[in-house]
Structure 1
Amino acid sequence: MRSRYLYERAVKIYPKGVNSPVRYYVPYPVFMKRGKGGEIEDVEGNKYKDFVLAYGPLILGHSYPSVVEKVRERVQEGSLLGAPTEEEVEFGEIFRKAAGVDMMRLVNSGTEATMHAIRLALHYSRRKKVLKMKGGYHGTHPYNFPSDLVQEVEFNDADAARDKLSSREFGALILEPVMGNTGVIPPEEGYLEEIEDASRKYGTPLIVDEVITGFREGFHPYYAKRGIKPDLATFGKIVGGGFPLAIYCGKEELMRNVRPQGDLPQAGTYSGNPVSVVAGLETLNILSRMDYGKLARITEIAVKELSSSGLSVNYATGMLSLFFTEKKVRNHGDVAATRKELYFRLFRSALEHHIYIPPSFDETMFLSFVHSEDEVRESFSFLAEEGRKLWRGI
Structure 2
Amino acid sequence: MAEQKKNRSEVLMERAQKVIPGGVNSPVRSWQNVGMTPRFIQGSTGPYIFDVDGRKYIDYICSWGPMILGHNNSEVLDAVVRTAENGLSFGTPTELEVEIAEYICERIPHVDMIRMVNSGTEAVMSAIRLARGYTGKNKIIKFAGNYHGHSDCLLVDAGSGLMTQGIPGSAGVPEGCTQDTLSAVYNDIASVEELFKANKDEIACVIVEPVAANMGVVPPQPGFLQGLRELCTKYHALLIFDEVITGFRLAFGGAAEVFGITPDLVTYGKIIGGGMPVGAYGGRRDIMEMVAPLGPVYQAGTLSGNPVAMAAGLAQLKILYENRGDYAVLSANADKLYEGMKEIIRRYELPATVNHIGSLGSVFFTDAEVTNYSIAKTADTGEFARYFRFMLEHDINVAPSQFEAMFLSLAHTDDIIQYTLDTFEAYAKTRRDEIESDL
TM category (shorter chain) comes to over 0.9
In structure 2, which of residues 18, 38, 42 is the aligned counterpart of residue 33 of structure 1? Answer: 42
* Matched residue, 1:241: 274
Moved >3 Å (runs of 4+) = 387-394
* Matched residue, 2:26: 20
Q: Which runs of 5+ in 1 are unaligned?
A: none
* Matched residue, 1:213: 246
* 1:150-299 pair list within 5 angstroms: 150-166=181-197, 167-168=199-200, 169-290=202-323, 291-299=326-334
CA distance in 2, matches of 1:68, 1:326: 43
CA distance in 2, matches of 1:388, 1:128: 53
Compute the RMSD of aligned alpha carbons.
1.3
* Matched residue, 2:405: 364
Q: Percent of aligned positions with the same letter in both sequences? A: 39
CA spacing shift, 1:133–1:390, aligned 2, 3 Å: farther
Alpha-carbon offset, residue 66 of structure 1: 0.8
Report SS of the residue matched to 2:329: helix
Question: Is the contact made by 1:305 and 1:381 (CA closer than 8 Å) also made in structure 2?
Answer: no
Report SS of the residue matched to 1:321: strand
CA distance in 2, matches of 1:145, 1:204: 21
CA spacing shift, 1:331–1:393, aligned 2, 3 Å: farther
Question: Is the contact made by 1:306 and 1:381 (CA closer than 8 Å) also made in structure 2?
Answer: no
Report SS of the residue matched to 1:48: strand
Report SS of the residue matched to 2:355: strand
Q: Which runs of 5+ in 2 are unaligned?
A: 1-6, 157-177, 347-351
CA spacing shift, 1:387–1:267, aligned 2, 3 Å: farther
CA distance in 2, matches of 1:266, 1:142: 16
Instruction: Identify which range, 94-103 or 56-65, moves more after superposition.
Output: 94-103
CA distance in 2, matches of 1:97, 1:390: 51
Instruction: Identify which range, 276-285 or 227-236, moves more after superposition.
Output: 227-236
Instruction: Identify which range, 181-190 or 305-314, moves more after superposition.
Output: 305-314
Q: Structure 1, residues 358-389: CA drift from partner, whole Å, max 9, x if none?
A: 11100001000111012112213422442464
* Aligned-partner residue type, residue 229 of structure 1: T
Question: Is the contact made by 1:236 and 1:247 (CA closer than 8 Å) also made in structure 2?
Answer: yes
* Aligned-partner residue type, residue 388 of structure 2: F
Report SS of the residue matched to 2:57: strand
* Matched residue, 1:8: 14
Question: Is the contact made by 1:58 and 1:241 (CA closer than 8 Å) also made in structure 2?
Answer: yes
Alpha-carbon offset, residue 83 of structure 1: 1.6
The normalised TM-score by structure 1 is: 0.97
* Matched residue, 1:89: 98
CA spacing shift, 1:123–1:388, aligned 2, 3 Å: farther
Q: Structure 1, residues 63-88: CA drift from partner, whole Å, max 9, x if none?
A: 10011111001010111122211111
CA distance in 1, matches of 2:139, 2:396: 43
Alpha-carbon offset, residue 393 of structure 1: 4.5
Alpha-carbon offset, residue 122 of structure 1: 1.1
Instruction: Identify which range, 175-184 or 83-92, moves more after superposition.
Output: 83-92
CA distance in 2, matches of 1:393, 1:154: 37
CA distance in 2, matches of 1:322, 1:27: 20
In structure 2, which of residues 381, 384, 390 is the aligned counterpart of residue 343 of structure 1? Answer: 384
Alpha-carbon offset, residue 40 of structure 1: 0.3
- Pair member with larger Rg: 2
* Aligned-partner residue type, residue 185 of structure 2: E
1:330 matched to 2:371: yes
Question: Is the contact made by 1:302 and 1:380 (CA closer than 8 Å) also made in structure 2?
Answer: yes
